[in-house]
Structure 1
Amino acid sequence: MKNLLLALISGVLLAICWPTYGIPFFIFFAWVPLLMAEHNITKFSDIKKKSLAVFGFSYLTFLIWNFVTTGWLYNSQLPDGSKSLLAVLFPVLTNSFFMALVFLAYHFYKKSQGTYFGLVFFVAIWMCFEKLHLVWEFTWPWLNLGNVFADYHQFIQWYDTLGATGGSFWILVCNVLVFYTIRIWEAGRQKKSLIKNISLSVAFIGLPMIISLVRYYNYSPETVGSINVTMLQPALDPYNEKYQKDSLTIESDLLKLAAENSVLQSDKKSKIDLYLSPETSLPGPGSISERGFNNSLLINNIKTFLTQHPKSVFSGGISSYYVYREDEEKPSTASYLDSQGIWVDEYNSAIQIIPNQQPEIYHKAMLVPGVEIFPYINFFKPILGNVMLDLGGTTRSLGISTERKVFANPYNKSVIAPIICYESIYGEFVTGYVKKGANLLTIVTNDSWWGYSQGHKQLLVYAKLRAIETRREIARAANSGTSAHINSRGDIVDELPYGAKGVLTAKVNLIDKETFYTKSGDFLSRLCLFVIGALLLFIPGRKYLSRKK
């Protein structure tokens, strides 16, 4: 019962830390009760199947954490309008399972090699697990530990050096230090050692935050100019309007919003340089052929609008598709439409439209598992069938762009990163845009699938992490909210409330200096991968030296 209580306490502490309702400072000892439970089971329990007990208690901890923080996924609706139980059960149960497996690996290593090496292994393997969640097809980095301070960005200004993965490392080491302090006290009851370890733990927790606060209040960006942006928020219900309403009507309403806000609200004499529309804002039902951009009535209507507003550019999200010729190489994502005898790829895309120029296109590369991509389809589809959620009109895996792409503005110095929704939670991925020359991050999103819940709130504050890591300002256009202007310190300068129909205009700064994190990426995660390798090689090496001795 004691170990059960410890596992429950860890689960609750992890859950109540999370943005946007939580207090993140509990995170520095949230893991400690679970580490204590594992230690009790390993050293003092008479349970026969100790490994199974460790797995069970840790699974309970992670189940609480996952359910409380991402239970809003239940608001996803099936085509018949009912709530999707699968949308919440699959990620919550499977992610808790993966987390428990990682913790079990720590248990096995610690039992084999002792507490000290075991704790190093714990930090390293959890960092590698988080990195895996950033790159594989089951990608779900929503609960990566470094995200926990997204709502308290004043304390993590050093993310421009180490990124959110550096935040995960910091949190894990702090928990290990607190756990170690407790264990040393229990073993020896020496006050001098206790004071020393408490001081070390407090310093490791507090110093990065103090340094961050100093940087926050003294930070002054070096800009290379600014542009005026209008972020369009049409507030279309994604289930009953967005993909059912007539395409020309949707576009007409969108351009009407733009026309009514063609000057900066704070300065009526300043014209708009960039109109930004949300993810898949066009065409409504169906999608636009990339071979037919020049003949598309929707795109030509936007070009006509832009000729009435000289030196303005339109960028935003569209649903698009590409039909392959017989002699063209078909990627693995292409589908054969037997009824029409053609190969086609469907995309969630960002587009830039300028009069008298061919539109530029970028295809979303980080796809939502189970919605936009069927993870490891060749293995799982024969087992699971077609279990993908239909959020937007397709249940096939979408095509992607294999490299980041930026959109340069011919009328000014701006080079924007066309980040699409889910991509905004990937730190090193976003730096790829900056390396291509982006001096402004734009995020186009439709995060209204889950209603007024923590879902869209968490996704919004995660964008603040990207602003700090790259030291770029962000213009964010959302379908139903929250559209926002975020500066390079991570402050939300202005926002348009969830559910409101309207626009947000902002003067955003352009910054071209690259941060250390932009250049180095998640190097701590890669370093931990080498540490894992060394620790695993240490096992046979230690046995060999022992036999030789």
Structure 2
Amino acid sequence: MTFMRFENIKTMKNLLLALISGVLLAIAWPTYGIPFFIFFAWVPLLMMEHNITRFSNIKKKSLTVFCFSYITFLIWNSVTTGWLYNSQLPDGSKSLLAVLFPVLTNSLFMSVFFLFYHFYKKSQGTYFGLMFFVAIWMCFEKLHLIWEFTWPWLNLGNVFAEYHQFVQWYDTLGATGGSFWILICNVMVFYTIRIWEAGRKRKSLIKNVSMSVGFIVLPMVISLVKYDIYSPETIGTINVAMLQPALDPYTEKYQKDSLTIESDLLKLASENSKVGLYRAPGDPKPNENIDLYLAPETSLPGIGGFSERGFHNSLLINNIKSFLSQHPKSVYAGGISSYYVYKEGEEKSSTASYLERQGIWVDNYNSAIQILPTSQQPEIYHKAMLVPGVEIFPYIKVLKPILGNAMLDLGGTTSSLGVSDERKVFANPYNKSVIAPIICYESIYGEFVTGYVKKGANILTIVTNDSWWGYSQGHKQLLVYAKLRAIETRREIARAANSGTSAHINSRGDIVNELPYGSKGALTAKVNLINKETFYTKSGDFLSRICIFVTGALLLFIPGRKYLVRKK
């Protein structure tokens, strides 16, 4: 009886450790949290796993580790991405599945990868186990950047998005370097605690604590110095007007007449055809001409989409051209919904859908467009990183027969949008700007964004409609994640959002000026053009690739070690 009570106490202690880790991970997250908790947020979870593996007498140790870690990740996911609940169904009610599916699923993925660490550590010991923990979690984050269930929202390197002054070295290692740094720091703190528990040696404690503190503090000190002395090498500037129509995505944006929506957009542009309203200190002086009018994601046409075969006949596009002809050397760029109808016998993409009533094959796109006042055909780019469940049905051939139309309950889709295979940039004959047409969700992908820069982009533009979740952490987090892209590439950002927050972000990650959420208007800014490539732009997520190799090596180490033991 006493033994059972003792085991129950130990179990409750381990459950408490799992709960503490979940809370620490949650309260570290932007934009409400304090990121410095992240350096020891994993430690209670690692202690829980170690206690169960080494000191518990329960029979199903692995299942217990999985369940307790699932609780940790459930807390983390629920608190940081619970704003997904604001998604609405067609009848106007909240979509419970829109939050339950990603939260429960992502927590499951995280727990499975933590269980991989548990199995390896149980087999190979603490030292090699901790190496495997860092490597396997980096692999997990890389997987979340490339597969169809992609959801890198909680990749650890994002945690300093609000406190970007401390991670200026992301221009060298990127946000994935931040993840690696955070994991190593947690491992060092955990190892320090374990060494102290095993030996109680003060000298060893002081040494390990000093190393842990140094590894945490030194990169931040270097970053602060870098932030203070950084000065961009610019090749020129352009004046940008970021249009913010503030249309409700559920009751206005896709119900209003297309010409009415366009008229309102062009009215905003016309009122700000000269720089003036919402100026920040150092921005263009009043009466300077606008070089780029930037409209948000899917700002046109409202209902339906543009046929990519009929741009030249489009009344909406010709209206924009007419507007631009009154503003010499100005360019319009923004987000549109578009589609491509295949001719008979034309090769179709894997995402093409057959419309039985019309008897045609068609691809639908979430696109960015650039329009010049000349007769030149508009340039088009199709969003490549799609939101799982909403814009892409993950692994549709396998899951559609199982799930059917369940994605509709997430406010999602029963098919997938088409994509561009490569990044595309927009240049124009009037100035030196080469813009990266980043569309909404794409702005959380570091290495992906460097693809635009490698194509010659000297300014990043982000067009977004993140008002689906109302005034919540959703649009706030997406905004501050963009600051990391500015640092990684050392490019300035012009961000146009449907309802907010539209913003000008400089190449240090500072938000120079912004148009608040819910405001209707246009934010004007003088944006620097920068050509120099950073180390991260050239190398990308090389730390992740190294960790994939290390993971493979550590797995191969298991049979190799057994062979050597048998040989001896």
TM-score by length of 2: 0.96
Contact 1:371/1:390 (<8 A) preserved: no
Matched, 1:280 2:298: yes
- 1:469 paired residue number: 488
- 1:379 paired residue number: 398
Which secondary structure state, in structure 1, belongs to the residue aligned with residue 286 of structure 2? strand
Matched, 1:409 2:409: no
How do 1:520-539 residues align onto structure 2 when only pairs under 5 Å count? 520-539=539-558
Contact 2:427/2:434 (<8 A) preserved: yes
CA distance in 1, matches of 2:409, 2:368: 20
Which secondary structure state, in structure 2, belongs to the residue aligned with residue 344 of structure 1? strand
1:106-149 C-alpha deviation (Å, 9 max, x unpaired): 00000000000000000000000000000000000000000000
1:476-528 C-alpha deviation (Å, 9 max, x unpaired): 00000000000000000000000000010000000000000000000000000
Matched, 1:4 2:15: yes
- 1:208 paired residue number: 219
Contact 2:89/2:411 (<8 A) preserved: no
CA distance in 1, matches of 2:162, 2:90: 34
Distance verdict in 2 for CA 1:471–1:67, change over 3 Å:
same
CA distance in 2, matches of 1:4, 1:245: 52
Quick one: which of 326, 330, 333 aligns to 2:348?
Answer: 330
Instruction: Structure 2 unaligned segments of length 5 or more: list them.
Output: 1-11, 277-283
Amino acid at match of 1:12: V
- 1:69 paired residue number: 80
Q: 1:421 Cα shift?
A: 0.1
Matched, 1:134 2:142: no
Amino acid at match of 2:188: L
1:453-480 C-alpha deviation (Å, 9 max, x unpaired): 0000000000000000000000000000
Quick one: which of 169, 174, 185 aligns to 2:196?
Answer: 185
CA distance in 2, matches of 1:351, 1:389: 28
Distance verdict in 2 for CA 1:171–1:154, change over 3 Å:
same
How do 1:177-256 residues align onto structure 2 when only pairs under 5 Å count? 177-256=188-267
Matched, 1:434 2:453: yes
Instruction: Structure 1 unaligned segments of length 5 or more: list them.
Output: none
Quick one: which of 143, 159, 164 aligns to 2:170?
Answer: 159
How do 1:248-327 residues align onto structure 2 when only pairs under 5 Å count? 248-265=259-276, 266-327=284-345
CA distance in 2, matches of 1:292, 1:386: 32
Distance verdict in 2 for CA 1:438–1:390, change over 3 Å:
farther
Amino acid at match of 2:264: D
Distance verdict in 2 for CA 1:79–1:136, change over 3 Å:
same
CA distance in 2, matches of 1:102, 1:123: 11
Matched, 1:94 2:105: yes
TM-score by length of 1: 0.99
CA distance in 1, matches of 2:528, 2:407: 40
C-alpha RMSD over aligned residues: 1.0
Q: 1:392 Cα shift?
A: 8.8
How do 1:360-509 residues align onto structure 2 when only pairs under 5 Å count? 360-389=379-408, 395-509=414-528
Contact 1:286/1:393 (<8 A) preserved: no
Q: 1:267 Cα shift?
A: 1.1
Contact 1:124/1:532 (<8 A) preserved: yes
Which secondary structure state, in structure 2, belongs to the residue aligned with residue 311 of structure 1? coil
Aligned residues: 549
Which secondary structure state, in structure 2, belongs to the residue aligned with residue 331 of structure 1? coil
- 1:103 paired residue number: 114
Contact 1:287/1:320 (<8 A) preserved: yes
Contact 1:372/1:395 (<8 A) preserved: no
Q: Name the stretch that deviates more: 394-403 or 20-29.
A: 394-403
Distance verdict in 2 for CA 1:391–1:303, change over 3 Å:
farther
Contact 1:79/1:390 (<8 A) preserved: no
1:333-381 C-alpha deviation (Å, 9 max, x unpaired): 0001111111100000000000221000000000000000000000001
Q: 1:409 Cα shift?
A: 1.8
CA distance in 1, matches of 2:528, 2:412: 36
Q: 1:60 Cα shift?
A: 0.2
Distance verdict in 2 for CA 1:389–1:274, change over 3 Å:
farther
Which secondary structure state, in structure 1, belongs to the residue aligned with residue 179 of structure 2? helix
- 2:9 paired residue number: none
How do 1:507-522 residues align onto structure 2 when only pairs under 5 Å count? 507-522=526-541
Amino acid at match of 2:146: V
CA distance in 2, matches of 1:73, 1:455: 7
